[in-house]
Structure 1
């Protein structure tokens, strides 16, 4: 399992992530539970993107000094492409989160807590899956074909599912909770469970949190193979993934009122997955350069966003 990561790079990355998370938890929750405004979410979203770009610049500088300009440029481009792919696929997470919050009528003031726990869970889960995936790919090259086929099929399924409202009532996790747990019909502040008459009841906030964690698992399985089409280096895969996930909470509040304006974006994400899956299937026949991958993803998403703005969703249509 080859990687550019050494003790200094891993240590520096860990420090940046811990400091960023602490700053996020302290500053974004300043003043207690509150409704996050569009302006606040915009500033935080720009801050997270800026931090990712700053980390990439620092990584380029370090590698330029220690391994040469060619290696620094190669790794910098891989990080940027991986970050863009994971950031764009994270938008699909946001659409599902919005649907969950709306379905369970989660109070605006309590949405932050659920998203914080969801983001932390996503970071841990992706770390485990990435190292497992990198170790397997180092031993079994043919898994790239399996990943490619999986992404191809997922992209096609996503295309045909775009615009359709997911059936939450058929969700296995929700059905299991309803069959095995006592679920309270009302919220109790930010409590996940309460005791009433000596009996433990789980609040709707707990249900939403579980479903968001399940969603994290599903989307991690979808998105992590996508970045292995860019690079197999676990350091680049993990860092680009984590920086994409770190801005998930701010992006949720940023897109909360704009989902309908980007109603065609799920189709663009489906095309991105098909494109990346095809790239993985062709890896031993024709290796598509990373720069082409970056350009392809940018063009696909750009065209989708422009078309969404030019052709607004019909009133009453599902995003």
Structure 2
């Protein structure tokens, strides 16, 4: 073959490859134009309008973990059809929660040298209302039933609750005034009926009762406690030991939480329990696996929580009274919220 022939052949090959590449890009774009997409091994996902206030059908909102162009976006499905097609919002969050038309979205901004994080308060259409810098890696987020208060927890150092080498920072914001308590460790602590001071106090996992009262975890000297907080008095009072990541039931009578159980692996120490706040009696749920999440109450009798899955996390559900069995609710999803 002459040199001229080889050049012509090479040019034709380059043109063919370019045409094929263009076709592939156009095909991918066509699949991302808002129509349903079957993610590889995952649920159908489509772009659309997501609202925290819906008339009629109750919604479940999650952070979508299905592989594809909409991974990490907040998505919605009908609460009674969690495996149906997901409508994604275009809003990406690492942690998310919502109630009464208010959302809290914890986000990462990737930098060349260092990532930064922020907490973004959203309106009912997931539009930004206000943002605050976050001091570390997002881990927990909650909105009060009224939508008037939001809270978040970040890891300032470390990235796991399993050991003792970590430090958290928890903040509460009033969405009516944008006043912020950016470190709940400054609250006055009463432990076992006495004022308590310690340099190693950590607070995390807020769950709201109303616009004044909340519950959270306090850790000190290697032990954890359920505390009741008061945002007006700026106080924390210990109630019960060995409680982490509390979640208050809709009727305000029980706390779902992670409990460290004797004999468990240090890397997988927690089981899911429910505490009766009046009797201070605890019930183990039927979920026997390690739970590293702040559970959500789907209703007064059912818990929803995340466990590792093929795409990062799946959502599971179990009765709160210790009966029944755990079952998978939804694949490739995390950070559930029933916004009401």
TM bracket, shorter-chain basis: under 0.3
Answer 1 or 2: higher relative contact order, Cα 8 Å, separation at least 6: 1
Structure with a larger share of its residues in helix = 1
Taking structure 2 as the reference length, what is the TM-score of the superposition?
0.21
Q: For the pair shown, which has the larger CA radius of gyration, 1 or 2?
A: 2
Structure with a larger share of its residues in strand = 2
Taking structure 1 as the reference length, what is the TM-score of the superposition?
0.22
